[in-house]
Structure 1
Amino acid sequence: MMWYTMMPKELMFPEPEGISPITQNVILYNGIPVLAERDENSSYRIIRVMSTDPSHFLMEDCQPGTVIKE
C-alpha cells in the first residue's frame, strides 16, 4: 500500500508507549495550520507549514524555526 502524504513518518506511525513521546502537534497559528514542536518552557517551534495556500509560505512570522510563545 502506498501512502501519499506530507505528514512525517513519526506522525503516521508513532512509537509504542514509553519509548518516545510525540512532542509535535498540528496547531493553528493565526489561522494557518502548522506542525509545531513543544519546547520545555511551554512554547512551540514551527517545523512545517501544513497549509495549501501558497501565500502562507511567504509570511515571515510563519516560517519554520519561528518560536511561538503561549
Structure 2
Amino acid sequence: MILYTMMPEELIFPLESSTYNSQKVVTHNGVPLLVEKLEGPECRVLRVMSSDPNHYMNDAYMPGTKITLT
C-alpha cells in the first residue's frame, strides 16, 4: 500500500506512549529543544524547536548531541 500524504509519519503511525514519556521540551541557553531524558541530568537532543535559523546552525544543538541540564 502506498500512502501519499503531507501528514507526518508520527500522526499516521503513532508510536507507543512509553516513547513520549521520556521526551521533554526544555530551554537550554535560550534555545528551545525537544530532548530525551537519559540518566541523571543528561539528555539527548531530538529536535530544535526554535524559530531562529541561527540555532539550527549551531553544532551544540544538533540532533543526537548529549547535553547536561542544570
In 2, Cα distance between equivalents of 1:42 and 1:58: 24
Percent identical pairs in the alignment equals 38
Deviation at 1:69, TM superposition (A): 2.0
Residue 53 (str. 1) matches residue 60 (str. 2): no
Work out which of the two has the higher radius of gyration on C-alpha atoms and give 1 or 2. Answer: 2
- AA paired with 1:35? L
Deviation at 1:41, TM superposition (A): 4.0
Equivalent position of 2:64 in the other structure? 65
In 2, Cα distance between equivalents of 1:54 and 1:30: 15
**Which 5+ residue runs of structure 2 have no aligned equivalent?**
1-7
- AA paired with 1:57? Y
Q: TM-score, normalised by structure 2?
A: 0.68
**Which 5+ residue runs of structure 1 have no aligned equivalent?**
1-5
In 2, Cα distance between equivalents of 1:57 and 1:50: 9
The number of residues matched between the two structures is: 60
Give 3-state SS (helix, strand or coil) of 1:52's partner.
Answer: coil
Q: TM-score, normalised by structure 1?
A: 0.68
In 2, Cα distance between equivalents of 1:69 and 1:59: 16
Deviating beyond 4 angstroms after TM superposition, the runs of 4 or more aligned structure 1 residues are none
Residue 24 (str. 1) matches residue 16 (str. 2): no
Give 3-state SS (helix, strand or coil) of 2:63's partner.
Answer: coil
CA RMSD of aligned residues (A): 2.7
